[in-house]
Chains A and B, each alone.
Chain A
Amino acid sequence: MAAVGPLARVARLSSSICRSRTLDLSRCPQRRGVASCVDPAHGLTEEQKEFQKVAFDFAANEMAPHMAEWDQKEIFPVETMRRAAQLGFGGIYVQPDVGGSGLSRLDTSVIFEALSTGCVSTTAYISIHNMCAWMIDTFGNKEQREKFCPDLCSMAKFASYCLTEPGSGSDAASLLTSAQQKGDHYILNGSKAFISGGGDTDVYVVMCRTGGKGPKGISCLVVEKGTPGLSFGKKEKKVSASCSLGAAHACVQLAKDHLLVRKQFGETLSNNQFLQFKLAEMATKLVASRLLVREAATALQENQPCAVSLCSMAKLFVTDECFNICNQALQMHGGYGYLKDYAVQQFVRDIRVHQILEGTNEVMRMIISRNLLTES
């Protein structure tokens, strides 16, 4: 059973007579009443609203209080993620017969959007883990599904997705890691780079070349930690579209709260027309982004012919717009936005990478234009 942070609960309930604000404004934006025009529950079914509520509560209670520490100490929060898995977040769109929750892509998007208001980078990892579990569930044979999926869904084991190499990023199809079959096993040779969770995780889903050049020669092998010859390099120092949404949503709340509180020139910033207009633009782009992601998720779930393009459009638009929203929110905080005490800077840093990973936004443009120009 997941535990709610004791201090937060005592603080909010012991003053049930006068509703005093005991939660730190700069850290827990999502606990405020949400203005209805940006309400992320809009358009969802009753069931989806329930999923969303659990995810928001989990994010606010289990993730947001630790977000800064995880960032600063570069912690891979195993215990917290396992608690998330207990709620069913380890294999959200994996089939129930192997331990998954059997939900749709749209349900998944709603959940990740809510979780990332608690910590973007942890949620981004959880989404990658889910993708690996789904890959084995969907494309694996009976043995593989039964061997790997239950442990991944419960997060008894963690997974990583290994495609990118030092020499092949956007040009993924040119990857060099090779796999040669020798009797009852494969010998892999090569190296992968920028692997989320690399070194900490147990199951590696590795794209490697078993055939000729180009994409058709690539296969996917599952490699477990501890396999002889598998080694890990140093942890890189650093900084997915639903995760961007959650960050942008959180930042719009943070910006709004700040504008209502901060005074300059004799009045609150919320009286400044430029800032009012800027906030309106941010909110509008947030809702537009959310609609596009959810539409793409539905298209993917239903295997519509436009699914790939729509997902590329969503990824392109949403990661760019949400980064701008978070960046604007930081700007609205003035000097305070730059302090690590304030969550807004972590959101900006964490989602900047979403314009690059999972296919750079340039690659997204390639996919979309190719689709447009080859269609009759």
Chain B
Amino acid sequence: MSGRVLVGVKRVIDYAVKIRVRPDKTGVVTDGVKHSMNPFCEIAVEEAVKLKEKKLIKEVVAVSCGPQQAQETIRTALAMGADRGIHVEVTGKDYDTLGPLQVSKILAALAKKEDAQLVILGKQAIDDDCNQTGQMTAALLDWPQGTFASEVSMEGDKVKVVREIDGGLETVKINIPAVVTADLRLNTPRYATLPNIMKAKKKKIANVKPADLGVDLTSRLEVLRVDEPPQRQAGMKVETVDDLVGKLKETGHI
């Protein structure tokens, strides 16, 4: 067992920023807008670093796909305790159409190349809310998956994952190597400390191109239009329950 964990971290628009749609309706404004690590990716990094601190794994490798700025996100992961980083360079049109399919192909290739025993990802990104990358990565690798994890524990050559599902909590035990995706309550990510931020500067970030991994970035999706959510319409007050049922029937809601 290599004892190596791959953690995917995505650079997204910061959760506190007010999103604005571009005038050409092709996407949202990203220029000059504050970006940070996807919060669920932070939770993934924290879990990996915790496993290393418990000496259950040996090395945490942080991966991010994107242009030059993706390195900032990797540095944040390094400052939290990841050992080294891999920046998969994706720019221009390729970056605009980069989605779960392409990223999962990249992660699967890297997981094999790095001989990872675990791939830990955030359950979804807060910009596209796809919730697909972890699942696709596992499928491409033909590895078991424990998604929406609220608890992860290593038990020999298996991983026990408590999953948050609609009906409550489900516990699964899956063989290593495996893919785990982090949900909100898995842990509380640590602040990077000043000494760790400075140590992170010395940690290595390798540069890789998708072509080097044999990955085809062509998108199978075309974004036709991006619109703001419709303005909230005024509601209507009614006097009785009968009126309510009548109105609901009238407007075709029931």
Contacts and interface: CB of A to CB of B under 8 A. Distances in A.
Interface of A: 1-4, 6, 9-10, 12-14, 16-19, 23, 31-34, 36, 46-47, 50-51, 53-54, 57-58, 86-89, 92, 96, 101-103
A332 to B, nearest CB: 20
Interface stretch (B195-203, B234-242, B245-253): B195-203
A6 B189 CA distance: 11
Given A1-B191, A9-B188, A46-B72, 7 more contacts: A4-B188, A6-B188, A16-B126, A32-B18, A54-B192, A87-B191, A87-B193
Contact of B129 (A17, A36, A57): A17
Interface string B102-130: 00000000000000000000001010010
A86 B129 CA distance: 34
Contact of B124 (A16, A33, A34, A57): A16
15 contacts: A1-B190, A13-B15, A13-B39, A16-B15, A16-B126, A32-B16, A33-B17, A46-B72, A50-B79, A50-B192, A54-B193, A54-B194, A57-B191, A96-B195, A101-B198
B55 to A, nearest CB: 17
B184 A33 contact: no
Interface in B51-105: 72, 75-76, 79
Nearest to B72: A46
A190 to B, nearest CB: 37
A96 B14 CA distance: 33
A169 B235 CA distance: 65
Contact of B75 (A10, A12, A50): A50
Contacts of B229: 18
Contacts of A53: 36, 76
A47 B17 contact: no
Contacts of B230: none
Given A33-B14, A33-B17, A33-B34, A3 B194 contact: no
Given A32-B16, A54-B191, A58-B191, A46 B75 contact: yes
Contact of A19 (B19, B189, B201): B19
A6 B185 CA distance: 10
A16 to B, nearest CB: 5
Which 6 A-B residue pairs are closest in the complex by CB-CB distance? A88-B194, A33-B17, A31-B16, A101-B194, A1-B190, A87-B193
Given A13-B39, A17-B129, A19-B19, A51 B32 contact: no
B75 A19 contact: no
A36 B126 CA distance: 23
A34 B194 contact: no
B223 interface: no
Nearest to A34: B34
A310 B11 CA distance: 39
Interface size, B (range) = 20 to 34
Contacts of B184: 9-10, 13-14
Contacts of A102: 198
Contacts of B189: 4
B221 interface: no
A3 B198 contact: no
B6 to A, nearest CB: 23
Given A17-B129, A47-B198, A3 B188 contact: yes
B15 A12 contact: yes
Contacts of A2: 190-191
Nearest to A39: B34
A47 B188 contact: no
Among A12, A32, A88, A101, which residue has the most Cβ atoms of chain B within 10 A? Answer: A88
B76 A50 contact: yes
A50 B197 contact: yes
Contact of B193 (A13, A14, A16, A86): A86
B154 to A, nearest CB: 20
Nearest to A49: B72
A31 B32 CA distance: 16
Contacts of A18: 229
A114 to B, nearest CB: 12
A343 to B, nearest CB: 17
Contact of A92 (B79, B194, B201): B194
Nearest to A50: B197
B194 A51 contact: yes
B34 A101 contact: no
A255 B22 CA distance: 27
